[in-house]
Structure 1
Amino acid sequence: MTDETIDEIMGATYRALCKHGYASLRMQDIADESTKSKATLHYYYDSKHDLLCAFLEYLYDSFAERIAEPTGEDPVEELTALLDCLLTPRDENTHQQFQTAILEIKAQGPYDETFREKLTRFDRLMHDRIEGVLREGVESGHFAADVDPDGTAEFLVTILNGARSRYVAVEYPLDGTRTMLRRYVESSLLADGSGREVVAE
């Protein structure tokens, strides 16, 4: 399968998920969003489950590129930029519909080992990226010496996942979480005498 075909099928899967959600999604719905027939999709993927597993892999690669981008002049700026990135929708028009579909897929995690393994990779990627910035900040003296990079990264991933789920379930605005995370960085992570202030936008 060519990269062009993969991109087309994955784009169609994204659009179909936004329109129909996970539970109601059919292979025909995905075919309707692309130039490929349902038979062609089945040629490449045996079932909706197989296609969605491939879709999660595709999302993982894109997500890895996205969270590698935020940088800053020091670890404090980099962490703030990273947290902002993780709480900023990539597409305002379809973000909530897509996140709703992803939440449906996450709900299958306890019952579907393949989904659970792929979703765990996203969590681990977020954790490792945040932990790396925290560890660098502790070593450089920007973050307090008693900050536990591993435990703090686990905590922040839990907050981020909860905020996004709450946004989907009850439309709680992500701006509130973004502001509180900035305050948390300033009040709990910065080294004494750093002279830094994390300004909430």
Structure 2
Amino acid sequence: MGANGDGPVDTEEAIMQATYRALCTHGYANLTMQAIADEFDKTKGVIHYHYDTKEALLVAFLEYLLDAFEQHIAVEGDDPVERLETLIDTLLFGPPERTTFDHWELTTAMLEIRSEAPHNAEFRRQWSRNYETVVAMVVAIVEDGIETGVFRDVDPEQVAMLLLVSINGARIYQVTLERDDVAEVTRAGLEAIIHEWLCEDEAETSAR
């Protein structure tokens, strides 16, 4: 991509948006370059100019999706409990402010591509990077909580794994079963873990 905000950047952004719309409409199994071109306001030849093959396009598209996802889940603040709860909410329900993508459409699109990761080394590499990025966010919050005495002295990486496995499972069930209650129940359960187990003072109070 160009770095100066000129035509190539705009064209590649348009290709990414067209790929997203085509994926949401057709699903991964039926996604073709023609289907993407049908969502694009230029010819299929323009797509091939930027991406030689469908696989090269989809590798770039996954990076595009994951970059957008990571930007939307950034959380700030001083209170580790609030930061962790905000991150859980954002991962489960999307950011509170409006973004380019509908949260559940984006979740479905990412799930479609995730299913190909066992068969595609580049997809797997990008998903691993994404997982490590989100784990690092959770670990940083938990470490801050331990240092300030808000959280018990726990293994931050184990906490991160517990939270992310629960959240990813909820997201998968939510989009595959169309069960509106799955994410809500998961949030309630994770909040109970935070307040009844992870928080130092609240855990001691509950044990009495």
Give the TM-score category using the shorter length.
Answer: 0.7 to 0.9
Aligned partner of 1:86: which letter? L
Kindly tell me: are residues 87 and 100 of structure 1, through their superposed partners in 2, closer, same or farther at Cα, counting changes over 3 Å?
A: same
Give the equivalent residue in structure 1 for 2:137: 129
Q: 2:118 is paired with a residue of what secondary structure?
A: coil
TM-score (norm 1): 0.87
State the superposition RMSD in angstroms. Answer: 2.3
- Alpha carbons 2:94, 2:103 under 8 Å: kept: yes
- Alpha carbons 1:12, 1:31 under 8 Å: kept: yes
1:3 and 1:20 map into 2 onto residues whose CA distance is 26
Q: 1:24 is paired with a residue of what secondary structure?
A: coil
Structure 1 residue 99: Cα displacement = 3.0
Aligned partner of 2:143: which letter? R
Structure 1 residue 72: Cα displacement = 3.3
Q: 2:151 is paired with a residue of what secondary structure?
A: coil
- Alpha carbons 2:142, 2:156 under 8 Å: kept: yes
Aligned partner of 1:172: which letter? R
Structure 1 residue 150: Cα displacement = 1.0
TM-score (norm 2): 0.84
1:73 and 1:121 map into 2 onto residues whose CA distance is 26
- Alpha carbons 2:91, 2:167 under 8 Å: kept: yes
2:109 and 2:73 map into 1 onto residues whose CA distance is 21
* Equivalent runs, 1:37-186 vs 2, <5 Å: 37-68=43-74, 70-89=75-94, 94-145=102-153, 147-173=154-180, 174-186=183-195
Give the equivalent residue in structure 2 for 1:190: 199
Structure 1 residue 144: Cα displacement = 0.9
1:159 and 1:179 map into 2 onto residues whose CA distance is 12
1:96 and 1:148 map into 2 onto residues whose CA distance is 31
Aligned partner of 2:72: which letter? R
Kindly tell me: are residues 63 and 95 of structure 1, through their superposed partners in 2, closer, same or farther at Cα, counting changes over 3 Å?
A: closer
Stretches of structure 1 that go unaligned for 5 or more consecutive residues are 197-201
Choose the corresponding residue for 1:24, options 19, 30, 39: 30
Q: 1:143 is paired with a residue of what secondary structure?
A: coil
2:68 and 2:186 map into 1 onto residues whose CA distance is 24
Alignment: residue pair count: 194
Kindly tell me: are residues 193 and 23 of structure 1, through their superposed partners in 2, closer, same or farther at Cα, counting changes over 3 Å?
A: closer
Kindly tell me: are residues 104 and 59 of structure 1, through their superposed partners in 2, closer, same or farther at Cα, counting changes over 3 Å?
A: closer
Structure 1 residue 54: Cα displacement = 0.3
Structure 1 residue 84: Cα displacement = 0.5
- Alpha carbons 1:71, 1:77 under 8 Å: kept: no
- Alpha carbons 1:142, 1:194 under 8 Å: kept: no
1:4 and 1:176 map into 2 onto residues whose CA distance is 41
Identity level (%) = 42
- Alpha carbons 1:72, 1:81 under 8 Å: kept: no
- Alpha carbons 1:18, 1:94 under 8 Å: kept: no
CA deviation vs aligned residue, 1:13-48 (integer Å, no higher than 9, x gap): 111111011110011111111212111111111222
Q: 2:117 is paired with a residue of what secondary structure?
A: coil
Stretches of structure 2 that go unaligned for 5 or more consecutive residues are 2-7
